[in-house]
Amino acid sequence: MTTNESPTQVTDTDVDVADPILSVRNTSVTFDMERGASRVLDGVNMDIERKEILGIVGESGSGKSMFASALLDAVVDPGVIDGSITYHPTPEESVDILGLSTRELKKYRWAEISMVFQGAMSSFNPTMNMRGHFEETIDAHNENYEEGMARARELLSDLYLDPDRVLDAHPHELSGGMKQRALIALSMVLQPKVLVMDEPTAALDLLMQRSILQLLHEIKEKYEITLIFITHDLPLVAELADRLAVMYAFEFIEVAPAEEILQNASHPYTRSLLNATPNMSTPIEEMRPISGSAPDPVDVPEGCSYHPRCPLATEQCREVDPDYHSVRHDHEAKCFHWEQAADAIPFTLPQQPGDSHSDADSDAGAGTGVNN
């Protein structure tokens, strides 16, 4: 299964957790295109702890959604997935997801691991009412109808929706926020253990985003699920997630507890990303876009994939792909210069005023690709 990945990288990653519900090992997704193989997920390793909230952050086209699809073995054609993804329904059991037959996969998806897509607006059949969506889902998995519908009603109420009204409504009769919540309810109607949410708040206004996050937190506590939350909005997910994983160029470049990332991000990209994220309370002058553009999946740069855009890049970065360096126990950064990153790229977070304000005015070449 290990293709052209250096084997050291696998062993060097310290992404293991004590009780993983999902372990992803050396998983790649490739699309054969005319100009070459497009590797949109590149030998990724990740463990997802039981009942944690894992936030996955990255810019558009960094492979976040691919990772989400891979977890359900639902990569769209003609994508090819290889590597291994193991699901542990209990700490003792393990299921090889990529080896499941189509029938087993049908039982696994939605019932064990469920998914909320980006664009809840278009996730419902426009010619069917919401009750129909719940009923057919319960029916397709041969669940007890009464219990299933009772659960659906409870979930809808938990999400502050009126079950009677919503179930009788057609999708076009619900607002965006209601559809989003209804979709969350639909994704949990079969009591999955893991819920993957791919940009669930992308199409919602700021207020709705906040309340959905709040609801997710409540739901997660009540139903004891593991939540994987994928977004490009780092500050947003930082409030919700226990652990954050930052993706760049189709792999994870930094993994750490949420608080740790906000206080002590050690990868230059993560730091620049924090600077680049627009926020209501950040003055526009302090926002710094990351110059350059995201790498092409057909032609990822040699060495560290971030080197063309990184202010700290050296000869070493251009030639050798860095391993994960342990910043602290449970904090990994895939960078040679993780120790210098904090000084080179200062960032301010609106939540922590004065955190690194002292050097905020010294430009220090933040985010400007000086090496390129």
Partner 1 sequence: MVSTQYFIKRTAMAVVTFFVVISLTFAMIRLMPGGPLDYIQSQMAAAGQAPGEIAAEVERFSSINPQEPLWQQYLTYMANTLQGNLGESMWYNDPVAEILGNAMPWTIFVSIISMILIYLIGISMGAFMAYVEGSRFDVSWSTVSILLTSVPFYVIAVVLLWYLGYNLEWFPTSGHYGRGVEEGFNWEFISSVMHHGALPIASLTLAGFGATALAMRGNAIQILGEDYLRVARLRALSQRRIALRYVARNAVLPMYTSMMISLGSLFGSSIILEQIFQYPGVGYFMYRAISARDYPLMMGTFLFITAGVIIGVYIADLTYGYVDPRAGSGDREAF
Dist. CA 43–CA 336, nearest whole Å: 19
In sequence order, the β-bridge partners of residue 80 are: 30
Stretches 31-39, 115-123, 262-270, 309-317: which one binds partner 1 (CB under 8 A)? 115-123
Report CA-CA distances (Å) from 238 to 31, 243, 270: 32, 8, 12
Q: C-beta of 232: minimal distance to partner 1 in Å?
A: 19
Residues 259-298 that bind partner 1 (CB under 8 A): none
Stretches 12-20, 133-141, 200-208, 340-348: which one binds partner 1 (CB under 8 A)? 133-141
Q: C-beta of 32: minimal distance to partner 1 in Å?
A: 16
Stretches 55-63, 110-118, 218-226, 266-274: which one binds partner 1 (CB under 8 A)? 110-118
Residue 33 binding partner 1, by CB under 8 A: no
Helix, coil or strand: residue 183: helix
The angle subtended at Cα 44 by Cα 120 and Cα 294, nearest 5°, is 70
Nearest alpha carbon to residue 70 among 57, 59, 81? 81
Residue 173 binding partner 1, by CB under 8 A: yes
Q: Which stretches does DSSP call E strand in the chain?
A: 20-33, 36-49, 53-57, 80-87, 95-96, 113-116, 194-198, 226-231, 243-248, 251-257, 325-328, 331-333
| Number of residues engaging partner 1 in binding (CB under 8 A) | 29
Residue 78 binding partner 1, by CB under 8 A: no
Asked if 272 and 368 count as a contact pair (C-beta separation under 8 A), the reply is no
Q: Can you tell me which of 16, 37, 145, 172 binds partner 1, judged by CB under 8 A?
A: 172
Q: Can you tell me which of 32, 96, 106, 289 binds partner 1, judged by CB under 8 A?
A: 106
Q: Can you tell me which of 46, 70, 72, 241 binds partner 1, judged by CB under 8 A?
A: 72
Asked if 106 and 137 count as a contact pair (C-beta separation under 8 A), the reply is no
Q: Which is nearer to partner 1, 107 or 288 (CB)?
A: 107
Stretches 5-13, 21-29, 126-134, 339-347: which one binds partner 1 (CB under 8 A)? 126-134
Tokens representing 244 are 């954050």
Nearest alpha carbon to residue 261 among 342, 343, 194, 359? 342
Stretches 9-17, 41-49, 132-140, 291-299: which one binds partner 1 (CB under 8 A)? 132-140
Q: Can you tell me which of 87, 117, 252, 324 binds partner 1, judged by CB under 8 A?
A: 117
Q: Which is nearer to partner 1, 165 or 222 (CB)?
A: 165
Q: C-beta of 151: minimal distance to partner 1 in Å?
A: 15
Phi and psi (nearest 5°) for 147? Answer: -60, -45
Nearest alpha carbon to residue 329 among 229, 249, 257, 235? 257
Interface positions with partner 1 (CB under 8 A): 72, 74, 76, 106-107, 109-110, 115, 117, 119, 122-129, 136-137, 140-141, 165, 169-170, 172-175
